[in-house]
Structure formats: C-alpha cells, structure tokens
Amino acid sequence: MHVSAIIAAGGRGSRFGGSQPKQLLPLAGVPILKRTVDAFLNGYAFDEVVVAVPPELAANPPSYLDDVIVVEGGERRQDSVANAVRAVAPSSQVIVIHDAARPFVSADLIERTIDAAAKHGAAIAALQARDTVKRGDASGIIRGTLPRDEIFLAQTPQAFRVGVLRDALLRAEALAKAGAIASTATDATDEAMLAEAAGHHVHLVEGDPRNMKITTAEDMAIAEALVQSGGARPARTGRAGTGYDLHRLVEGRPLVLGGVVIPSDRGALGHSDADVVCHALTDAVLGAAALGDIGRHFPDSDPRWKGASSIDLLRRVVAMIGEQGLRVGNVDVTVILEKPKIAEHIDNMRAAVAGALGVDVDRVSIKGKTNEGVDAVGRGEAIAAHAIALVRSR
C-alpha cells in the first residue's frame, strides 16, 4: 500500500504570538517542526512526506527538511493541504495529515490511524471527553450539558483514502468558488470537517494524551517540561548496528582511513586496503539491517577483494540495504590510534564517508582517540575502530 504523509506547517501561529511561526521555535533546543518531521520519517515507512510551510521558508528550507518534499502553504489550512496533496505521487492510496505543532505523536498512533483509514475510508485520532461538558453562550451562561460519552476531542494524525480526501477538498473548493458563506466546508479547522461536510463517515481512533498541540506559550512550557522529564514518548528511531575492526600496522603499507590516505610511515595490514573506518562502518550498517557482516559478503578468501577499496565496499553495502527499503540515517566512528594524529584529516574523511553513505556530512561523526599505551594498539602495533550506524526505512 502506497502511503503518503502531509505535515501542515503553513500557519503563522498568531495565537502563540512572537515574530516567527511557532513551528519554527526551539523546543528543548530543537525546532518543533524538526521534531515532528523526524517523528514521521522514523515512525512509519511512508513513501513520501510532504511538508507545507510559509512561502519564505519554502524558498529557503532548513537542512532538516532535506528528506521531505517542501511546498508552499496557503492562506487557510485546507489551502496548504490542497497544495501538499498536489505534490503526492499519483500512486498514493492513503494520505495522512498531521499538525506540525504536535511533535509528540507516536509511531503506534500513526500506524493505527493509517490502518483505520485503509479499512473505513477516513479516520482521526481523538480523545473521549473525561470531564462534564457544558455548552455556554457569549455572556458566560450555561445553556446545556452535553453527554460526554458522545464528545471527542480531535487530534491529528488524520488519515484518508485518497479518493475521500480529494472529494472533500474538491467539494470545499467548489463551495468557496460559489460564494458559500459560514459553511464548515469553506472554513474548516481540520480535514475531518471537510470529509464530514462531503458526506463521508469518519472513523474514530483512540488518541494519545501526550500527543498535545502547542498553541500558546503555556503549552510550550508544558512541552518543555515533558521533554526534560522524559515524559514525552520519543518517536521510533529506526534500527541501530555496531561495528568493530582491528588491523596490525606494518611498514610498506598506506594508512587509509575513511577513504583518505593519511601520511604515515606504516599502514594497516589486510586483504583489502584495510581501512578500519570503512570496515567498522560496513559491519555497523550490515548489522543494523540484519544482513550479516563484512566477511560474509567480501571474504578475504575471494581474490576479487584483494586490494579492494573499502570505501567502495561501503558503497556496495549501502546499495544492498537500499534493496531492503532502508537508508542510513547517521553514523559515529571512533578511531583508536597512537600515531599519527588524525585531527587535521577528519573533515576530509567525513566528506568521503558521507559520499559513500549518501548522506549529508553533518550526519557523519569521526573521532580520534589513543589507547593510553595499553595493549597492542597502545604500543602502536595496531589500529582499531568502533562504529555505530542508524538506518531507517526509506
């Protein structure tokens, strides 16, 4: 099933106040929009994620939107959603819509909403009212008590089969063009209202109290407290793998690290170029994808890999996990070596590794450490590397 996600981030956040849209404000040091986008990139294997943002942001989007499709938002929420729907692939079957200001959405809630929409046509996350609900007038007088077992507080995500969503948007557009006034279909606060106005039944999915919407400065304070206390459930972050490699150092061999030749009187001994950075990373990526290790795919008994470039082997592994629907998110490597010092070469190593992994340089960390004179590495007889890689669904 082809599933697309739309994150509605085109609003100005007027109720929040301030000089910039609330979705761009930092929440515990991370922009709210980035937290929400990351929850969607890591929480479900979407075929594409489309983010509708204010025009000025669409013209120069931040790097954390590199892995999504960015479109301009419109005057109203439904205009932003309509713009995003036009960017969705024609093969899409279900579209999920989520508020950028709800950064704590869980992978489970996303998946349950998608399943309900695929089955029923339309579904939204919602919380049943727990308190007694009163209806009042503008003067502050109670005019009735509503049965709370029939009252649900709508959240997002909201998911729709494509035909249902397109029909709802088209009907709303037609009413607007016809000059309809005070119609829920022309002034909707969410997509469920449009679907209801178009005659579609919308299924309720049990929401999550932690899936709060940041609307006011008070909400931001609560969200900050949730993050700091760990009460905000983190999004599913993908699959992690670790790698380790060690080679003896000998004279007459080049020292290759991260695809970069490092000036040295000795290099690592091995069947290939013995690049411990790439070997450790290759094992970490393979481990995250549960595809074995470097020896299984490139055995030293095979003459094809004699003197092979290890960074090329890393590229092959990235292509291999791509066939499994996975891609690298970020990596971290620690090189353990007494000498030479590698600090001045790290930027070149990071750039080379990023190119092999198909990621931005800021997703590659490489550090150099010594072993304080302990064991063969500490005596300068060997070099080692530890690596961790995070992979996620495409």
Predicted local distance difference test score (pLDDT) of residue 189: 82
Of the residues 211, 229, 247, the one at which a domain ends: 229
Domain hosting 371: range is 239-393
Same domain, 204 and 146: yes
pLDDT per position as a tens digit, 251-295: 999 999 999 999 999 999 999 999 999 999 999 999 999 999 999
| CATH assignment of the domain containing 333 | 3.30.1330.50
Secondary structure E strands in 23-112: 26-27, 30-31, 48-53, 69-72, 94-99
Same domain, 309 and 359: yes
Arithmetic mean of pLDDT, 116-131: 94
CA angle 278, 276, 66 (to 5 degrees): 25
Same domain, 194 and 104: yes
Same domain, 199 and 320: no
Of the residues 169, 204, 229, the one at which a domain ends: 229
Nearest CA to 24 among 59, 61, 72? Answer: 61
Token pair belonging to 90: 């024609």
HSE-CB for 192 with a 13 A CA cutoff: 21
Q: Which residue has the higher pLDDT, 76 or 233?
A: 76
Of the residues 176, 198, 229, the one at which a domain ends: 229
pTM higher than 0.85: no
**234 belongs to a structural domain:** no
Predicted local distance difference test score (pLDDT) of residue 51: 96
Same domain, 223 and 243: no
Predicted local distance difference test score (pLDDT) of residue 237: 54
Nearest CA to 357 among 330, 324, 393? Answer: 330
Number of Cβ within a 10 Å radius of residue 320: 16
Arithmetic mean of pLDDT, 207-211: 92
β 133-136/142-146 pair status: antiparallel
Same domain, 271 and 207: no
Q: How many separate domains does the chain show?
A: 2
pLDDT at 378 over 70: yes
pLDDT category, 18, cuts 50, 70, 90? low
